[in-house]
Each structure stands twice: as structure tokens, then as C-alpha cells.
Amino acid sequence: MIQNASFQRKVLYLGLIALLLIPLYVIGHPATGDPTKLNSSPGGQLAQLRSEYDLAPTELGEIDPASESMKLATLGMKGIAANVLLMKANHYKKTEEWEKLIGAVNQLVKLQPHFVKVWEYQSHNLSYNVSVEQDDYKFRYAWVKKGIEFLTKGVRYNRHEPKMPWTVGWYTGQKIGRADEHEQFRRLFADDKDFHVVLSQYVPIDTEARGADQRPDNWLTSRLWYENAYSIVETGLGPIRGKSEHIFYSDGPKALMNYANAIETEGVLDEKAQYAWRRAGESWYIYGDRVVRTSWGTLIRLNDEESARAEALRFSDELDKLVPGLRERIRQEKIAALTEPERVALAKAWEEISGELEIPRKYQAEHKTQVSYQEVAEASPSDVRARAFRLAKQASDKETEATRIASYRNNVNFNYWKARCGVEQLPRTVNARRHVFEAKRLMEQASIDEAKEEFELAWQDWGVTFREHRELVNELTDDDLFEDIQEYMKLLGQLDEELPPDFALREIVSKYMPMPASESQAPPAEADVTPSTPGASADKEQSKDESASSESEKPAATAPTPAAESTDAPKEGKPAEPAAESIPPESTSDE
């Protein structure tokens, strides 16, 4: 009887366990199949919650048994185990035990698959720190590739984190396209079919990343990763972290510009180069029309600076017409209140100002004699004062908006890139660069006379471009053109000749090399600019604004960057010659 009772209890327990498995399965079974198809299953309630909050892989094929086993084996000490593995990884890097380093890194991410910084740090470690330790460029490329492949795994585990695909785009573009061995890296990438298969699981590299030679291009692939990151933000799956919106969205269009510049450097100087620059210009125009948040809590569009300034001027003119002569009368009263030295400095033009005291005195005098819209409104007659205050506020608001837009434009060199796209897609510009490229090739073959002819044809085209599009080109092409001119001058030296007095680009030479007064040449007359596409349009009153960049840099010339804005993007600048490789955002401290 006792034995029967014991047997019955065992049967009862087994039955209860079997019954409990049913609700456990209903609640916790993983998702299966493609969610877009009818025969798929979203999984149990727990799987759906994990998927909604991106806590862990929820589909049956995505669950990593090794990862889950490691988490269980640490008995709740996952963080300690991750720190131990991180120290081991650093030790293996120092001792150059590369295979052990890979093993430690792979174990680390199995413990912390949703910790974004682990993926970023270790991918940077592989692509940047380990790669430079290799002697052969093929081995360096292999480690760059390992870092990118490692990061793509992190994208799969962190599908709602836009910074992950953004970082893949940054490495694919900058590390391959701007390394010292960028020519070899770009060629290896274009021929790396196995790598293309890996990347095609995430971005349509086979259809949308093919370059001028119909092979996948690293810059075009980089743009696709940026677009992937933008899609995550725009669909509301994840927010932008640690980066201003206008910086975040600028990298995709700039990848197209870097592609256009790269193929020209490699000798693609025909309608393909023109199309590449036109496409980049159109993309930049679309970027300028994007609504972005500012640190002031307002929304702006970078394309709106000119219209905002025009509106401010219109309201200002209306205010002056409402109370004619009032602004000038207030200014004269302020001039009368200046000290005699300040009045003398104010009356002089800036070209006449000299001396350590006069320069600050001139600035101070101009500041003291400025008349604000508010001052005009306050001094208006009582019968029009209400309208005057309204116009003053409207003018001031529009002026403030334009100033803020200009500040954000400086952060991404908006005016420079806008103008660059406009100039580079001109047929004459492409033709001039073709002549220079051919001249350098002939110099390598010691065909000096033929090279000289090619250079002179290039200077003719550049001279016409300078005259017709002076305000677009004057500062856009100085850096790279002067390097070409130096090559030309070296060639002339081999022929015992000097730069001719009527040299079309003598103005550029005089900026870098002091020229005798008798040889100076008046600048060409200005001409109206008619850009060919919206993306190529540039404002005649705007010169190139240079802000800090990952490439060759020039200081910003206008409004400062808002202190509240923090960016972890690489600094932007003119991508003249990609001789030095860029440092990724993780290793910079200027953000």
C-alpha cells in the first residue's frame, strides 16, 4: 500500500510537471520564421517583451547557446568576468598574441552582447591599434577587416542602436579610404568578395555601392551604413546618442563627396566624376533641408540662412521706413559720446588702422556705435511705437535664427561643401583636373615637354573657371591647386624656365610665395554665378567656412560653435589628400 502511494505521488508529480511545461512554453517559447510571413510565430509573451525592449535575441536561429551558457556559468558575476577578459585582451595586444586576443574578445562579447562600448572599443582596437603593428599592407587590411566584421556582429545584437551602423560606416569609409595605404586598401576592398558577402547581409552593397569601375566602393558602402543608422532614428527605433543631429546626418552626403574626390584622384576624370559630384551636391542640398534640433531648443534647416537674413533685412527696412532717419540720429548721438581717440579710429577704414592701441579702439568704437532694433523701437513716436516694437522683434528673431544657422553650418563646413560640389561638377573643372593628372603621369615617364603642355592646358581651364566662378573657386581650390602649381614650377626648373608673368593662377602663387610688386596681377573681374543644380548652388556672399576636421583643417571663420553642443563625430574639413589616416571618434578628445 505504501509502495502504491509512493508510485502514485511520482505519477502525480510528473503529471504536474508536464502540465506546467504547457504554460511555460506558451509564455516563453522563442519566435520562429520571418515575421512578415503567415507561417511565422512571434514567440511567447516573454520573447515578445525581450524583442520589444531589445533585451536579448528572441528568434530561435539567433539565440547563441554558448553565450547563454557563459552567462549562467558566471553565477551572476558577469561584470567581473567581463573585466577579467578585458584585461586579458589588453595583455594579449601588448604581447602581440593576436589569436589569443581574438579569442578573448569573442568571449567578452558573448558575456556582454548588448554593451555597445565593448563592441566599439574592441573593433577600434582591431582595426586601428592591431592593424598598425603589421608589416605588410595586406595583413594590415586583414586586421581592419576583422575589426569591421566584428562590429557588424554587434549591429545584429544591437539593432535599435543607431551608433553601431554609424560606426561601421565610419570605419569602412575613413579607415579604408584615408589610411596611408588607402590606394591598396581601396583596391583590396573592391576585390574582397568574401567581405562583400558578409556586408551584404546588412546593406545592399551589390546594387547600390558599385563605383565607377562597377566594383563595390568603400565610400559608397560607408554611405549605406550611415543610411542604415538614419533609418533607425527616423523610424523611432532608437535615439541619437552623444552626437548633434546636424553632425550625425552630415556623414552620409560627405561619403558621396569623398567618393567623388577619390575616383578623381585615381584618374576617373570624365562624366562619371561629374555625375558623382552632382549626386553629392544634390544629397548635400537634401541634407540642408532636413529639420534638426539645436542646443537652444529650436528647430532649424541649414538651407534657411539666406532666407532668414533676407527676412531680417526686410523687417529692418520696414522699421526704418516707419521712423525715417531715427537710426542714424541715434548713431550720431553715440558717436558724439565717444572719446576723441575712439572717434578718430572709427573714422578710419580698417586698411588704415595700425598699432596695438588703434585696433582694439576701432573694435570698441564700432561696438559702442551699433544701434539695435530695440533702441530704434524705444525711441519711436508713441503713435507708431507698437508697430515699431513688433518689427524690431521680428527682425531680431530672424537675425538670431540666421546667426544660429550660420554657427551650425560652420560645424559641418556647409558653405565649403556646397560650393565645392558646384565647382567640381563643371565640365571645365573636370577637364582641368584631367590635364593635371595626365601631366603628372608624363612627368613620371620623363616626358617633360608633353607634361608642360598638359599643365598649360589645365591652367587655361582653371583661369576661365576663376573668372566665371571666382567667389566659388577662389578659396576652394587654393590648397590642392598650389601643390599642382609647385609640380609645374619644378618642371619649369628642369627646363631652366620661370613662371610666366601672365600665369593665370599667379594670384594663388602670391598667397604662398612673396612676389615682386611689378609681377603682381589684378584679380579677374567678378562674374555672376549660376549653379547647375540645387545641390550645387552657393551664395556669393559666403566664403568657405572651415571647422575642425579629421582631415586637413582650417579654423572656422564666423560664428562659434554653441557650447552646449557636443559631438563625437570626427572633425570635418577639406579632404584634399588622404595621406594621413583619420582617427575615429572613440579616440578623439575634441568632442
pLDDT reported for residue 476? 65
pLDDT on residue 481 = 80
| CB atoms near residue 489 (< 10 Å) | 16
Q: Confirm if 173 and 569 have CB atoms less than 8 A apart.
A: no
The confidence score (pLDDT) of residue 226 equals 97
Judge residue 422's burial from the number of C-beta atoms within 10 Å of its C-beta, 0-12 exposed, 13-18 middle, 19 or more buried: buried
Provide the phi-psi class of 447: left if phi over 0, else alpha when psi is between -120 and 50, else beta. Answer: beta
Cα 394 from Cα 244, distance rounded (Å)? 27
CA distance 141 to 327: 65
Dump pLDDT digits (tens) for 166-180: 999 999 999 999 999
Helix (H) or strand (E) holding 464: helix 448-468
Rounded to whole angstroms, how far apart are CA atoms 463 and 521? 13
Q: Which residue has the cell 603682381?
A: 520
**pLDDT tens-digit profile, the chain (591 residues):** 556 888 888 888 888 888 888 887 777 666 665 554 555 676 777 777 766 665 555 444 444 555 555 555 666 677 788 788 888 888 888 888 878 888 888 788 777 788 888 888 889 988 998 898 888 999 999 999 999 999 998 998 888 899 999 999 999 999 999 999 999 999 999 999 999 999 999 999 999 999 999 999 999 999 999 999 999 999 998 999 888 999 999 999 999 999 999 999 999 999 999 999 999 999 999 999 999 999 999 999 999 999 999 999 999 999 999 999 999 999 999 999 999 988 988 998 888 888 778 889 889 999 999 999 999 999 999 999 999 999 999 999 999 999 999 999 999 999 989 988 988 988 999 999 999 999 999 999 989 999 999 999 999 998 888 888 776 666 666 667 888 888 999 999 988 998 888 888 877 777 776 554 444 444 443 333 333 333 333 333 333 333 333 333 333 333 333 333 333 333 333 333 333 333 344 333 333
Instruction: Provide the grid cell at 38.
Output: 503567415
pLDDT at 479: 63
Residue with cell 588622404: 578
For 126, which DSSP code? I
Domain residue extents for the chain: 2-31+41-61, 64-113, 118-238, 305-403, 426-519
The pLDDT value given to residue 581:
36
Q: 303: alpha, beta or left, given left = phi > 0 and alpha = psi -120 to 50?
A: alpha
CA distances from 565 to 144, 297, 336, 395, 399 (A): 31, 11, 41, 26, 20
Q: Which helix (H) or strand (E) holds 85?
A: helix 78-94
Instruction: Assess contact for 246 and 560: CB atoms under 8 A.
Output: no
Residues 126 and 110: their CA atoms lie apart, in Å, by 17
What contacts 24+ positions apart, CB below 8 Å, involve 251-254? 251/166, 251/169, 251/170, 251/226, 251/569, 252/169, 252/223, 252/226, 252/227, 252/283, 252/287, 253/280, 253/283, 253/284, 253/286, 253/287, 253/417, 254/417, 254/572
Burial of 303 (0-12, 13-18, 19+ CB in 10 A): buried
- pLDDT for the residue numbered 56: 55
Residue 137: partners with Cβ closer than 8 Å, 6 or more residues away: 181, 184, 185
* Cβ atoms 362, 346 nearer than 8 A: yes
Is the CB of residue 176 less than 8 Å from the CB of residue 144?
yes
* pLDDT at residue 536 in the model: 36
Which pLDDT does position 553 carry in this prediction? Answer: 36
Three-state helix/strand/coil letters over 175-191: HHHCCCCHHHHHHHHHH
Predicted pLDDT at 578 = 34
What's the pLDDT score for residue 215? 95
Distance, CA of 536 to CA of 71 (rounded, Å)? 54
The per-residue pLDDT for 329 is 94
Cell numbers given for 422: 558646384
Rounded Cα distance, 38 and 422, in Å: 50
| Listed residue (306, 274, 304) closest to 288, CA to CA | 304
Residue 374, amino acid: Q
